[in-house]
Amino acid sequence: MSDKYIVSARKYRPATFRSVVGQQNLTSTLKGAIASGRLAHAYLFCGPRGVGKTSCARIFARTINCLSPTPEGEACGQCESCRAIDRGNSFNLMELDAASNNSVDDIRAVTEQVNIPPQVGRYRVFIIDEVHMLSSQAFNAFLKTLEEPPSYVIFILATTEKHKVIPTILSRCQIYDFKRITINDMVDHLAYVASEEGIEADRRALGVIARKADGAMRDALSIFDQVATSSGGKLTYEAAVENLNVLDYDYFFRLIDTFARGGAPEALLLYKEIRDRGFDSLFFVNSLAQHVRDLMVAADARTLPLLEMPDDVGERLVAQARTLPLQWYYAAMRLLNECDLNYRTSSNKQLLVELTLIRLCQLLSPAQPPFDAPDRPVALRNPSEPPRATASSAAATPVSAPKDSAPAPSAAPIATQPQPAPAASARVAPAPASAPVAASQTAPAPQPRPASVRPRPLHSFQMNAGADTTVSSLERKKEAFTDAQFIAAWNEYIASVPDQKILVSAMRNASPTRRDNLEFDVLVDHPAQQQAFELAMPKLLRFLRERLRNDFLTVKAMINPEKEVVRQLSPQDFLRKAVTENAALGEFLKEIEIELC
């Protein structure tokens, strides 16, 4: 072997400001400060791991001590100072790892070195890495030296967690925030490294490596070495996906196409294929949620800068984002988020994920009533029971149909959405099995609204897979109801919350009065009852609106002004009132010489 192997993260570590990846604005500022001679005595470089904080600190120290800098403001790399820093034996550059040297004695060793002037060059630079790991005593011992160092000393502090650095340190430093390196910048740099190493690399494979690195260039170079070693000099997309054990983009693109077609069996088979490859189900759910999020971002040109993807994948996302309405992404992300929250407590995790995939397939093609709301229990009829009110029986009631309504649901099965008949068991008690059907027509029950068939515009978008899991319909319920129906629902709610004593007592004693068509006032006796109503109001309104099928119903609880409010008297006021009402008591207090203050 001719030369010792050096990993890419060290071999291609930046040595000049020009070679720093993804921090052009920051390096330009540092070069401008050096050129103008406006150097601060303390800098704080903060940002994620692997973005070049320590590298920029070394380049900064190398440049300000260079004996013959280039016209572009870079270090020459040939003078005595540059060569000493490159060899690591320069007396002008001292580095301290605060993660393992965080005591007061370590900081005192630094402050003692401060008094020694530079031998070659103009400045002595002290780089303290991971400065947030210093103890509080070490921070306090460092404050005075950091605030007033000698003119030839420059401190450069680096940290990944700026919020852990005490404010007195932050106030003494110029702060530079390093940003995460974008995927495209990392892909370009990895392509340069691959060409230097003589490796044939597919840009799609480099994109997988860049996304796996999550904004850290050092991590990307380490992953590149790992994949390049196993690929035998030819880095392909398939080799990168297999070696890094990441889910291929193609799976997610195929799943979204399956959801758009409503193909639940195909989605379940794809999920099985992913599980057979050894991927964790929770990782799959989160990755799918990230892909849906990326599609939502790609659907609007204004949010495209939020898309952190290689250019080729971004183009595929933009193309697929046009195939689904924007509301679909909102509902899909909510479903996947609920799956993520319920995954850890679920006893059958595979079933939970499969049910989520089925619901995603049903967002564009919901089931017909009564199976359109899987989260509500459906009352199925006993086969021995006579049939209850149906759409055909409801049609016997005279109805003035609108002129533009469709003649029958079968005439346009795609463009129409039949609404369920109001003869549901939630509001109207069914007749006994022995009673004839005709007898129900003479019962003094409120007239039910017949089922109507209304054409749905082709551009409309409706997802009917449960009120708590999908986007609700744009049309809100607004059915008429009588006072008797309201009181029945009111009493039904009282029976459902027997443990809330104050609320139950207030609801039983109150007499709701209809202020207008949809607003009810409830008068209570004291503030405790009013507070009980306010706490239970969201649940109460949700219950009443569901029972009465009217989303505009409101209830307001107020204290009855006719009720006398008993005010607690202070001892002095109570005594004055007693003396006013009892003259003998007043005479007695005068005899014993007691004055009322």
Instruction: Identify whether 222 is part of a domain.
Output: yes
CATH code: domain of residue 496:
3.30.300.180
Average pLDDT of 153-169?
91
Using DSSP, state whether 558 is helix, strand or coil: strand
Residue 150 lies in a domain: yes
Q: Answer whether residue 447 shows pLDDT above 60.
A: no
Query: What CA–CA distances, in Å, run from 51 to 160, 174, 178, 357, 565?
Result: 10, 18, 7, 38, 68
Is 50 exceeded by the pLDDT of residue 64?
A: yes
Give the HSE-up count for residue 121: Cα atoms under 13 Å, Cβ half-sphere.
26
Q: Please tell me the predicted confidence (pLDDT) of residue 304.
A: 84
Pair (12, 108) in one structural domain: yes
CA atoms within 13 A on the CB side of 371: 6
Predicted confidence at residue 292, as pLDDT, reads 92
pLDDT by residue (tens digit) across 297-350?
A: 988 888 888 887 777 788 888 889 888 888 899 999 999 999 999 998 899 999
Task: Return the minimum-mean-pLDDT range out of 194-198, 429-433, 559-563.
Answer: 429-433
Q: What pLDDT score was predicted for residue 370?
A: 60
451 within some domain: no
Number of domains in the chain: 4
Answer yes or no: is pLDDT of 172 > 50: yes
pLDDT at 584: 81
Regarding whether 310 and 167 lie in a shared domain, the answer is no
Do residues 498 and 533 both lie within one domain?
yes
Q: Distance (Å, rounded) from C-alpha 513 to C-alpha 521?
A: 5
Q: Coil, helix or strand for 201? A: strand
Residues 113-149: b if buried by 16+ CB within 10 A, e if exposed: ebeeebeebbbbbbbbbbbbbbeeebbebbeebbeeb
Q: What's residue 568's pLDDT?
A: 61
Say yes or no: 147 and 187 in one domain.
no
65 assigned to some structural domain: yes
Q: 212: helix, coil or strand?
A: helix
Name the pLDDT band for 551 (thresholds 50, 70, 90).
confident
Question: Out of 36-45, 78-87, 122-131, which region has the weakest mean confidence (pLDDT)?
Answer: 78-87
- Residue 392 falls within a domain, yes or no? no
pLDDT at 412 over 70: no
Pair (158, 20) in one structural domain: yes
Chain segment 86-107, per-residue pLDDT in tens: 888 888 888 888 888 888 888 8
Looking at residue 285, what is its pLDDT? 92
Q: What's the pLDDT score for residue 3?
A: 61
Q: Which amino acid is at 362?
A: Q
The residue from 338, 362, 386 where one domain ends is 362
Q: Are residues 190 and 89 in the same domain?
A: no
Give the pLDDT mean for 105-121: 86
440 has a pLDDT exceeding 70 = no
Angle at 313 between CA 307 and CA 314, to 5 degrees: 35
Residue 555 falls inside a structural domain: yes
Q: What token pair was written down for 517? A: 């068509």
Identify whether the C-beta of residue 92 lies closer than 8 Å to the C-beta of residue 124: yes
Do 39 and 157 fall into the same domain?
A: yes
Where residue 156 falls among pLDDT bands split at 50, 70, 90?
very high
- In a shared domain, residues 117 and 172: yes
Residue 357's domain comprises: 281-362
Residues 45 and 127 in one domain: yes
Q: What is the pLDDT of residues 462-521, one digit of tens each?
A: 444 444 444 444 467 888 888 888 888 988 898 888 888 888 888 888 888 888 788 888
Q: Are residues 154 and 212 in the same domain?
A: no
Over the Cα atoms of the chain, what is R_g? 38
Task: Report the distance separating Cα 313 and Cα 234, nearest Å.
Answer: 21
Chain segment 289-306, per-residue pLDDT in tens: 999 999 999 888 888 888
Return the CATH number at 203: 1.10.8.60
Percent of the chain with pLDDT over 90: 14
How high is the pLDDT of residue 565?
Answer: 52
pLDDT mean across residues, the chain: 78
The whole-number pLDDT of residue 358 equals 92
For residue 495, being part of any structural domain is answered with: yes
DSSP E strands, 223-311: 234-235
Give pLDDT tens digits for 530-550.
888 888 888 888 898 888 888
pLDDT attached to residue 511:
83
- Let me know whether 35 and 77 are in one domain: yes
Bigger pLDDT: 526 or 428?
A: 526
Q: Which of 313, 341, 362 is the last residue of a domain?
A: 362
pLDDT of residue 355: 93
Q: What is the CATH number of the domain that holds 166?
A: 3.40.50.300
Q: Stretch 579-595: mean pLDDT, rounded?
A: 78
Residue 455 in this model has a pLDDT that exceeds 60: no
Q: Which residue has the tokens 């820093």?
A: 85
**Given 332, 362, 392, which residue is the final one in a domain?**
362
In a domain, 536, yes or no: yes
Contact (Cβ atoms closer than 8 angstroms) between residue 476 and residue 552: yes
Looking at the structure, tell me whether residues 16 and 161 fall in a common domain: yes
Position 2 pLDDT exceeds 70: no
